[in-house]
Structure 1
Amino acid sequence: MRVKAAVPIIVAGLVLMLVGIGLQTLWKPAETLTSSTTRQTTSAPVTVILPEARGRQSADVEVTVDGEGPFTLAVGRASDVEAWVGEAAHLSVTGIDEDVLSTEYTEGEASVPDPRGSDLWISEEAVQGSTSYRWSEPVEGEWSILLATGGRTTAPTQISITRPNDQSASLALPLIIGGALVVVLGIALLFIAPRDRSGQGRPDAPGRRRPPGRARAADGGRGGAPSTAAPSIAAPRVILVLVGLLGAGSLLAPLPALAAVPVDVERIPDTATPTATATAIASATGDPEPPLATGAPSPGSVASGPPVVLEEQLERILRAVAGTVAAADAASDPDLLEPRVDGAALETRAAAYALAAADAGLPAPAPVAAAPVLLDMIPTDDQWPRTLVALTQGTDDPVPQALLLVQESPRENYRLVSAVQMLPGSTFPTPPVPGATGPIPLDEDGALKLAPQEAVRAIADVLTEPDGDNERIFEENSFAEAITRFQAEVRADPGNSAATISFTHRAQEESTQALSTGDGGAMVFGYLRHAYSSVPASGDDAIDLGGTVYETLTGEAASATGIDISYGEAVMMYVPPAGSSDQVRVVGAVQQLLSAQLR
């Protein structure tokens, strides 16, 4: 019986081993698979390789592109690439059909702008003729490749993608190991001796009496029915164990999921944060997460995907902005600012250049620092306009500066619209979860204590009427104190008794921007125009401008008609969430003289 049982087992083991060796040699599948577009593919000014062209691969794939002449290969979020293409005619590589890449042609505009230098791209390469590109996913999400030259030139259409073969990790090794174990089992069966049954299953020898204890065991005890006879050898139990393993898939099929292991909550280290611990327990038990603790991101700020700008993109954008501003500062040429500066930042800097031409002694605007980035606020929303904030501090800067950048449309780059220095002693609000911030409605308070536009109007009102109704909305801050103190001193100056003086601060609502913070509040960026007028009280009086910057700018030492002076004031405020007892806090501000004109 032992030989009859062992031989088939040994043979089966050898067969498994031979099959495994064959899968590693004679029948080994290719490690990679290559799919290509057909020669009859329709050309267009843009070719887009969609995420589906990767197949089900999460690993890197090799993309080979054969073109004629120069072109740009750019990688971006799938939604960003689609937005950049817009209404242009384009060829899309939509997926894989065995060894052929399926394509789809979309009619549209016959030309596109040059894609080089777009802030949308994670990476880009200038290619001459053909290239092989290793396509990897920078972070989790959907990513596409764009091929274009610009203008009406057709983009390359001869594309091949080489990807790992899912079947290349065959069953060879499990078969070899499993076969070897089966062979060892078969050999072991040949040497296992039969169990000593001590007369079980056969009658006692003549003249021999069965001991009472053995009789009870054989009869099942207390007169019970006789028990079933035990197997003749011990091997079948081992065979059942091996067959069970094979059936469970330890060698030939995927492993089943492990059973849940109880968590000893009392042994969780003291260093674990309450929020993290609660989330981990909720995930393990399937219970909903508890309410967020104070200071945690609000439910509306949960990240919904990769941020619209990754770290390397942000660094590249800031270098471009800082380089543009530095070149314009060196030349005092506002036209050089146009590609990368707009809004309040453009107005105040252009004014500084003009004033410096009239009076070289006036202070220059603070330089824009690209690094280091102390923190950032980057949204995940795939809509436009897009707004982001980077807090930087150059080596020569006494305080950090907040850079507000806006991208108006997919084919435009980010522009600096506000550069605000933080006030001494101020702190930046709780930063949001990476990629979880985003623009919020400007005219609705919603989850905020004050609507962003209302907050900007309120700070303008406080600067105009320091004792007005909005005084209690704001915490004390050095910016408002300096402005209101200057205004009070000018009015109280006896030398100005023969002049009618007015100070008015007005919010420029088209410049207001707001982004959510991690605690449910908002960072609000506003821009004010400060009008300072001094008019003689009577026809016999004159405004003395001697020795002031206004004399330099107007060329007059006195004015019998009066003078109008204009300042630009960029402010950065923190508006707390609704229900908070905190006041609105002015975190940063900058003031720039814009003009001085005689009436």
Structure 2
Amino acid sequence: MRFVLAIVAFVVAAVMIVAGIAQRTVFAPPTSIKAATTVSGDPRYVVIDGSVLNAHPGQQTLTVTGTPEPGKQVVAYGRTADMKAWLGDQRYVAVSYQKATGKLATKTVTPKAASEGSGSGSTSTSTPAPTSTPAAGAATGTGSATTADTASKAGPNPAGSDLWLEEFDGTAAQVTRMNIPDDVSVIVASDGTKAAPSNVSVTWPVDSSTPWAFPLIIGGLILLVIGIALYLWGLYAHRRSRGPRRKSGPKMPKLPKAPKYKPTAMIESTPRGRRSTRRARVMLPAALIGALALTGCTTGTDAATTPTKTATPLATEAPDAKDQLPPAVTVPQLERIVKRISESAADADAKASPDLAKARFVGPALQLRTANYAIRAKKADEPALPAIPASPIVLSLPQATDAWPRTVAAVIDSPKDAKGNAQAPIALTMVQETPRDNYKVEYAVSLEPKAKVPNLAPASIGSAVVPPDSKLLALPPAKVAAAYGDILMNGDKSQYASQFDSAGDTLQPQVGAAWKLKQQQQLAQQFGNTSALSWTPGVGPGDVLAMATNDSGAIVWVNPRETQLHKVVEAGAQVIPGATTAALSGIASSNTGVESVFDYQLMFYVPPVGSKDKIRLLGFAQGLVAAKQIG
């Protein structure tokens, strides 16, 4: 028997080991699924929808080849709506996935040309509706001429766009790994003038694990060991059984059987009472069990038919995620944008080039930097404006929107200066006018030392833009610049003084009413009444930007302006401007007078209407932006 069991163990062990090895070799499942296609017609842009990339679970690997210049190829992904807005009227090839065949298919899409003048006077940019065509260039009549004209013109270059969530350029774009949702699409292109890569393939990983291979191999080895043990045990027992045997002795005699006991009739009738008692004892529990069973059935029936109250949960409608507007940028996207702005600003500052500054600055921020470059060209000791740090971003406030223009605010911590002194963080307010424009800095301010920023919406949700004429704030954003300008002119006598908190305001002591009065007094003491110094408040060209806070207030950016007039009063007198004004205007002295224009980039917190809080200055930047001689 032991030999039979050993043979069975050997056979089963061999089967298990062979099956386990076969699962890892011969019958091993594939490690990936691949779908590929070749794009014809030499299109400039190829778009792969997120649903195509999510046709199978797992991380997607996109491989593109076949471009004339591999060094200029670009693979980027972003929100599908943003990508279509960026493409605008550009023709592209859309890649789809066929579930029946498991292959990729292509279709040429020609968006409708936007109507002339659309969007004028509107703050949003309409997205052209795409119209599919059966093949590239397949059109007739006027449509074919339009398509030919569009194809002949150079398209925009997707490289370096702030709209993308991630971007791969050059050889790094040949094989890219990503894991994107359905509402994100991938664009494959060159530089907008050359054809996009023509060979596109997507690979998905497949679960190739063989969970039974290892247990089968281990179990087979264990059975093999057991079979060997049984075989050795059988050999040992067989050899032992072949030894000499001893003869058994005489058998013991059997004992006589005892007579069986047969009770008489008299004895049988004696224990009848006990038997009857025993039967009664048996019958009584049986009766009790029957009664209890009947009683239990009756009770159970009553309990089952008795109505009971069940708490009904109240249905509450959760907000639909589709109704929530997405944030203009994600945090990684904003970090990349700020880094690009920092590099561009450093290049422009090093070369003192206004043209380079225009790539990333606009409005008040550009005007102040341009003036600083002009002053430093003639005045070597003029300090440069604070550099734009690349990181770390300590606060992100994107606008929640799907239209343009878009506004994003960020606060970046500044490193210590050359002497080891701490510097104030820089707050940037960036605006993207159209889908193809990059974000440009409109306000760049240094935060106040005691600035207390209110609670803001998380970066993953974004904030709403408050209209300039909103009456839900303690002061409409459009009136904040003029109100603060009046305070700088009149100080505590201003009608708006009670609405602003001057406790942490470090700008008023520098340029406020007390400082202006002191400048006039010093001028009179030195030169008598030969000249007069005066200021006129105004509003600069910067946009009024406001973004909501969690307490229904708003962060407001404004651009007030002051014009300083140093005018000759006594005939024959001259006005000698300061070194900074002279460097910018090119005037060493004037017989009539000099006009200097100072701009202020201000960042305020404006509380909601009815709040006991006051308007607080959170940060500012100020400087001379223009100077000239008056007639």
Is TM-score (shorter-chain normalized) higher than 0.5? yes
Cα contact 1:386–1:408 (8 A) shared by 2: yes
Give the partner amino acid of 1:119: D
Work out whether 1:221 is the aligned partner of 2:286: no
2:188 to 137, 140, 147: 147
Do the aligned partners of 2:537 and 2:563 also contact (CA within 8 Å) in 1? Answer: yes
87-96 or 568-577: bigger deviation: 87-96
- Asked if structure 2 preserves the Cα contact closer than 8 Å seen for 1:302 and 1:433, the reply is no
1:368-407 alignment runs, 5 A limit: 368-392=388-412, 393-396=414-417, 397-407=422-432
Q: Which runs of 5+ in 2 are unaligned?
A: 1-15, 112-149, 217-271, 296-312
Which residue is 1:131 aligned to?
Answer: 174
Query: Which residue pairs with 1:594 in the alignment?
Result: 625
Please point out which of 105, 110, 117 is paired with 2:108.
105
Determine the C-alpha separation between the residues in 2 that align with 1:28 and 1:383: 51
**Alignment correspondent of 2:33:** 33
Distance 1:552 1:383, change over 3 A: closer
CA deviation after TM superposition for structure 1 residue 129, in Å:
11
8 Å contact from structure 1 (residues 453, 509) kept in 2: no
CA distance in 2, matches of 1:93, 1:320: 31
How far 1:363 sits from its partner (Å)?
2.3
Distance 2:563 2:172 in 1: 59
In structure 2, the residue corresponding to 1:490 is in which secondary structure? helix
Structure 2 residue 346 is the aligned partner of structure 1 residue 330: no
Deviations 1:156-195 (A, max 9, x none): 34323233559x899999xx9xxxxxxxxxxxxxxxxxxx
| 8 A Cα contact 1:380 1:435, kept in partner | no
Distance 1:447 1:24, change over 3 A: farther
Matched residue, 2:256: none
Deviation at 1:79, TM superposition (A): 2.1
> Which of 456, 459, 475 is the matching residue for 1:431?
456
Residue 488 of structure 1 is aligned with which of 509, 517, 521?
Answer: 517
1:476-528 CA-to-partner distances (Å, cap 9, x unmatched) read: 12212321222122233424644343212222354222222233221111112
Cα deviation, residue 223, structure 1: 5.3
Change (3 A) 1:215 1:469: same
Quick check: 586-595 or 450-459, which moved more? 450-459
Shift of 1:459: 1.6
State how far apart, in whole Å, the 1-side matches of 2:337 and 2:528 are. 49
After TM superposition, give the deviation of residue 541 of structure 1 in Å.
5.5
Q: 1:385 and 1:76 mapped to 2: Cα distance?
A: 17
8 Å CA contact retained: 2:585, 2:626: no
Aligned to 2:495: 469
Counterpart of 1:452, as a letter, is: P
Q: Do the aligned partners of residues 86 and 559 (structure 1) sit closer, same or farther apart at CA in structure 2, a change above 3 Å counting?
A: same
- Distance in 2 separating the partners of 1:414 and 1:60: 31
Aligned-residue offset at 1:458: 1.8
Q: 1:133-212 residue pairs with structure 2 within 5 A? A: 133-137=176-180, 142-164=183-205, 211-212=279-280
1:373-399 CA-to-partner distances (Å, cap 9, x unmatched) read 221212342221121112112222521
SS for the counterpart of 2:157 is: coil
Aligned to 2:174, what secondary structure does the other structure show?
strand
Three-state SS of the structure 1 residue aligned to 2:386 is coil
For 2:363 and 2:547, the matched residues in 1 are separated by 17
Q: Please tell me whether the aligned partners of residues 577 and 594 of structure 2 are also in contact (alpha carbons under 8 angstroms).
A: no
CA–CA separation in structure 1 for the residues paired with 2:75 and 2:519:
61
1:421 CA displacement: 0.7
The unaligned stretches of length 5 or more in structure 1 are 1-16, 177-206, 228-283, 290-298
Contact kept? 1:91, 1:106, Cα under 8 Å = yes
Q: Does the 8 A contact of 2:568 with 2:593 survive in 1?
A: yes
TM-score, L = length of structure 1: 0.71
TM-score, length basis structure 2: 0.67
Distance 1:504 1:546, change over 3 A: closer
Which whole-Å deviations, capped at 9, do the CAs of 1:282-307 have from their partners, x for residues lacking one? xx986689xxxxxxxxx9x9993664
Q: Residues 482 and 325 from structure 1, CA distance in 2 versus in 1: closer, same or farther, beyond 3 angstroms?
A: same
Higher gyration radius (CA): 2
**1:500 and 1:534 in contact (8 A); partners too:** yes
Q: CA separation in 1, counterparts of 2:173 and 2:521?
A: 75
Q: Answer yes or no: is 1:448 the counterpart of 2:448.
A: no
Residue aligning to 1:91:
93
* Counterpart in the other structure of 2:445: 420
Q: What fraction of aligned residue pairs are identical, expressed as a percent?
A: 28
Change (3 A) 1:220 1:403: same
Q: In structure 2, how many angstroms separate the alpha carbons of the residues matched to 1:552 and 1:223?
A: 116
Number of positions where the alignment pairs a residue of Structure 1 with one of Structure 2: 480
Give distance in 2, aligned partners of 1:320 and 1:542.
Answer: 51
Which of 558, 563, 576 is matched with 1:545 structurally?
Answer: 576
* Equivalent of residue 118 in structure 1, options 161, 164, 169: 161
Distance 1:575 1:36 in 2: 56
1:534-591 CA deviation, whole Å, 9 max, x = no partner?
Answer: 22335x2634417754455556564331111111211111111233111111111111
Cα distance change on mapping 1:545 and 1:523 into 2, 3 Å: same
Matched to 1:66, the amino acid is T
Residue in 2 aligned with 1:278?
Answer: none
Higher relative contact order (CA 8 A, sep 6+): 2
Question: What do residues 223-242 of structure 1 show as CA deviations (whole Å, max 9, x unaligned)?
Answer: 57899xxxxxxxxxxxxxxx
CA contact (8 A) 2:408 2:429 kept: yes
Partner of 1:478: 506
